[in-house]
Chains A and B, each alone.
Chain A
Amino acid sequence: MSEWDELYMEVILDHNKNPRNKGKIEGYTHSADGHNPLCGDRISMQIIVEDDIVTDASFIGSGCAISTASASILTETIKGMKRTEIEKLFKEFHNLVTSEDSDARTVGKFSVFGGVRKYPARVKCATLSWHALMAALEGKKETSTE
């Protein structure tokens, strides 16, 4: 195990190389652009919400391995989830990447981002797509990690 494996877990490298749900989706009901002014990265989220449940999700844009993998895993995870469930997961995910006393067991696939908390400069990479998603759900068109 090399010294950067704690951040760049295999799963993250895989999602970075082969991102899931990357591209536009037809007939999306909500979308928003997320912007990280620190690095200039932009990620747009597009989702379809039917009866308060996310039925499809995709992302567009390019970023670092952390933000790409986070967006990729996010689009996979939220399909079939209710808005309140997504909000709860975001809180837990945010806690995972920022706080020592977080529980990786509650965040499912996102547990691979546990290493991010040791890299404060990279927290915003991990949360960029999340911020875009929350903005989309709130009916906003864009948001920023600042």
Chain B
Amino acid sequence: MLDESLKSDFPTLKQKINGNELVYLDNAATTQKPEKVIKALESYYRSINSNIHRGVHTLSIRATKAYEEARSKVAAFINAEHREEIIFVRGATEAINLVASSYVRPILKEDDQIIISQMEHHANIVPWQIICEQKKAELKIIPMNVKGELLIEEIEGMISEKTKFISINHVSNSLGTVNRIEDVIKIAHGNNIRIMIDGAQAVQHLSVDLMKLNADFYCFSGHKVYAPTGIGVLYGKKELLEKMPPYQGGGDMIKSVTFEKTIYNDIPNRFEAGTPNIAGAIGLGVAIDYLVSIGIENIAKHEKELLDYATQEIRKIEGVRIIGNAVEKASVLSFVIEEIHPHDIGTILDKQGVAIRTGHHCTQPTMDFYGIPATARASFAIYNSRKDVDTLIKSVKKTIEVFT
């Protein structure tokens, strides 16, 4: 287990909610921010705030340097081959929309197919539906078993010459399943199909090595990895990004503009139109430093111990059913209680200071698969402890008392 003193790095965690110590277990929605990240934002605005890239003055040079250093940190963090393969975006949602719009839409024709999976977040469903509707193409869904594991062996049979793209998540946000993306990437490439991996629930829990994985596109959101909101990352292979048309037009994404012809900038700037979230990117760099200093392997071990302990304890409570029982899971414990709606669970837990998420978690097709409208979801992070799990279990028992 990680040292419990780590919790003191996070100012938000030092408070009482409804008279009880806050136990924050909504980490799959967003993580709390360490003091270092908060300070980095403040320090940026206090000392080097300036617009990047074109300024010749000192502050602009400093801001540009800090912003570009953050890009290098991200590249090292996920082991991208080239730093210009890292595009700063608002979050995983924007990254997927960018790829749908600039890579897939131009190659998509009538009757073509895009493959996603049964357990995707709406952010990895709707952008593909939008372009499928525009191009009269079809969305195909990789099925899963009741444990919440994708039936990878079915993919080969789903693929045809009409299949133009595959996009699946690395870790499911509502079930916690860690998908065997290595296998899916190999299947895609074996059929000459490009593939995107939504890593929004992955990079904060397990080590991601893109040179080894060989995914064509990969994305994640900063705010789920202890960084600020409004900053995220799209990784794309250089040879693909270089051929893609811009996603948005504006400043900084051009080499020259005349009314007759605009020459687009090189990557990554071509995909970063307008003034980006400079402070956010710097904050993300600091959050990554923080994670690396703890060690992703140690984090993975810590969170697995917590998840195993919580799973074991919640199974002992009569009437509780865990949704998502994959063999390989990360951080997420989704559950329902007989006769008690998840919203009521959420409210009673909040009264005891325990913050969990209740609802469909932006995965309505996953909920439909299990025939439920919603689940209660606890998700663990580096600052959670066995004591937090004990409080969760105690609160769940109390909830059942109130409603029976």
Contact = CB atoms under 8 A, between A and B. Distances in A.
B358 interface: yes
Contacts of A39: 342-343, 358-360, 373-374
Interface string A98-124: 000000000000000000000101100
Interface stretch (A26-34, A63-71, A79-87): A63-71
Contact of A4 (B340, B343, B351): B351
A25 interface: no
Of B18, B340, B359, most A-chain CB atoms within 10 Å? B359
A8 interface: yes
A4 B360 CA distance: 24
A16 B351 CA distance: 20
B344 interface: yes
B343 A64 contact: yes
Interface residues of B, number: 19
A76 B359 CA distance: 28
A122 B347 contact: yes
Contacts of A125: 343
B347 A4 contact: yes
Nearest to B368: A40
Given A4-B402, A39-B374, A64 B360 contact: no
A15 to B, nearest CB: 13
Interface residues of A, number: 23
B273 to A, nearest CB: 31
Given A8-B402, A125-B343, A40 B351 contact: no
A2 B395 CA distance: 13
B364 interface: yes
B403 A40 contact: no
Contacts of A92: none
Contacts of B18: 3
A39 B372 CA distance: 11
A62 interface: yes
Of B19, B340, B343, B359, most A-chain CB atoms within 10 Å? B343
B16 to A, nearest CB: 13
Contact of A64 (B344, B351, B364): B344
A38 interface: yes
Nearest to A125: B343
B70 to A, nearest CB: 35
A13 interface: yes
B253 to A, nearest CB: 35
A78 B344 CA distance: 26
Of B18, B342, B402, most A-chain CB atoms within 10 Å? B402
A121 to B, nearest CB: 8
B341 interface: yes
Given A8-B344, A40-B367, A65-B341, 14 more contacts: A4-B348, A8-B348, A38-B359, A39-B342, A39-B343, A39-B358, A41-B341, A41-B373, A64-B342, A64-B344, A65-B340, A65-B344, A122-B343, A125-B343
Interface of B: 18-19, 340-344, 347-348, 351, 358-360, 364, 367, 373-374, 402-403
17 contacts: A2-B402, A3-B18, A4-B347, A4-B402, A7-B347, A8-B348, A38-B359, A39-B358, A39-B359, A39-B360, A40-B359, A40-B360, A40-B373, A64-B342, A65-B341, A66-B344, A122-B347
